[in-house]
Structure 1
Amino acid sequence: MGAKLSGGGGGSKLHVDQNAEINVTPFVDVMLVLLIIFMVAAPLATVSVEVVLPKAVAKPQPSPPKPVYISVTRDGSVFIGDFPTSLDTLGDDMKKAIGARDPDQERIYIRCDQKTRYAEFMKVMNKLQDNGYYSVALVGEDDTQ
């Protein structure tokens, strides 16, 4: 293997010709070898031993309870789900909505209109806390569309 470093005239400048073309032949050779290896190995990867698996003894988990949504409209009206309520009866209506579930473990979701006054929202929050509902989540609209 050799390289021509100078021209025939014996000039003092070093000149090396560069080849910028990509040699695809080794790449194709490697791909073909890998293809053959995978074609041979794929049938060997299947399981041919028959095994009788035992039945699962775990009991299915109950589905989580339906979440409770409280909606506060622009004019300050309060709804539990689709049913209207008021601040005076919010605690009793919440007990009816969650049934026999534990209020300490229940998460309440609050949705408010954009134009709802903050004071109206805080009245609902305070009434929920007065009745023992401390796990409250706020629902907003996802605007990353």
Structure 2
Amino acid sequence: MAFTSRSGHTQTSLAEINITPLVDVVLVLLVIFMLTAPVLQSGIDVSVPKTRTVKEITQQRTVLTINRDQEIFLNDKPVNLADLPGLLHQQPDSDPSHQIIYLRADEKVPFGAFATLMDAVKQAGITNISIVTQPIPGGASAK
């Protein structure tokens, strides 16, 4: 776009975008995302047992996890074993007798701790418990 100044000279406007601030902002955002991405992907480290028969999980359900340090997590949130039956009653599924729980237990967890956790789930009135396992590499898996 051209315009004429008071002295009668014709001048054109500068129609270029200064790219330097844009590149600075993009680089800062890139560094921020690179630093925060590993933090967002943190989860509960559980080495579940390997079995020959594994059923694929197709539905989103409540997941109860016990790690090798015998810490209990309800959907990735740490919980106290004494509070677990009450928390399971507050889950979105209204009828505990039809509620399904996926139980992930580390293979190093003693059976006593596993049985205590199962008892707490049963105290909440939930009887449908599926134990999460991994398939054995190279082994046959069933539905």
Q: TM-score, normalised by structure 1?
A: 0.52
Of 85, 91, 95, the residue aligned with 1:91 is 85
Higher relative contact order (CA 8 A, sep 6+): 2
- 1 or 2, which has the higher strand percentage? 2
C-alpha displacement of 1:100: 4.7
Task: Tell me if structure 1 keeps the 8 A contact 2:93–2:99.
Answer: no
Aligned AA for 1:131? A
Match of 1:124 in 2: 117
Give unpaired runs (5+ residues) of structure 2: 1-57, 139-143
Equivalent position SS for 1:89: helix
Q: Which structure: larger Rg? A: 1
**Aligned in 2, Cα 1:143/1:132: closer, same or farther, shift over 3 Å?**
same
Match of 1:37 in 2: none
> How many Å separate the matches in 2 of 1:93 and 1:131?
9
Of 106, 109, 116, the residue aligned with 2:102 is 109
> How many Å separate the matches in 1 of 2:136 and 2:63?
20
> How many Å separate the matches in 1 of 2:136 and 2:129?
22
> How many Å separate the matches in 1 of 2:127 and 2:114?
15
2:70 is equivalent to residue 76 of structure 1: yes
Would you say how many aligned residue pairs link Structure 1 and Structure 2? 81
Please tell me the root mean square deviation across aligned C-alpha atoms, in Å: 1.7
Q: TM-score, normalised by structure 2?
A: 0.52
Aligned AA for 1:69? V
